[in-house]
Amino acid sequence: MDFFIRQNNSLPLLLMKPIHDGRTDYQLFNKMIENAAITFSMMDERGSLIVANKPAFIVARSSLFEEEYDNFYYVGYQFKPEEVKKIGNYKAQFKIDFFQISGQPSYLTGSIVLPQKESLNVYVTNSFVKTEVNYI
């Protein structure tokens, strides 16, 4: 997945939908993600961490126009301008730590790193517009 953001900006939000590959019970995943800690990390081409385990968020979306008529979730992160001040290509990941849900077996706890099948590439591109304004 490729994500583009301009230098020194905080928008757009990075949103990623976890893959429903048919091998996992996505309805159980949806229940589990409501009781989880989500973090975001990003490193540059040399392997230096630019963002290290910063809190991320989830967004529930209705899938009326999808095959299922259920809710599904996006994991997301909002960049701070200082995190995208340097133009370049970065690799990023979300980590979801699932906590025990009452009534569910303990083997459903643990961690998962997203994306699972492909890389999440963040491209910070040049911006010639000054985004900071000092008000008098």
Question: Does residue 136 form part of some domain?
Answer: no
Instruction: Give pLDDT tens digits for 62-99.
Output: 654 555 555 678 899 999 999 999 999 999 999 999 88
Inter-residue contact 114 to 14 (CB < 8 Å): no
Count of domains in the chain? 1
The CATH number covering residue 22 comes to 2.60.40
Instruction: Give pLDDT tens digits for 53-71.
Output: 999 998 887 654 555 555 6
Residue numbers of the domain that contains 24? 2-125
Question: Does residue 130 form part of some domain?
Answer: no
pTM over 0.75: yes
Pairing outcome for strands 120-125 and 2-6: parallel
Inter-residue contact 13 to 78 (CB < 8 Å): yes
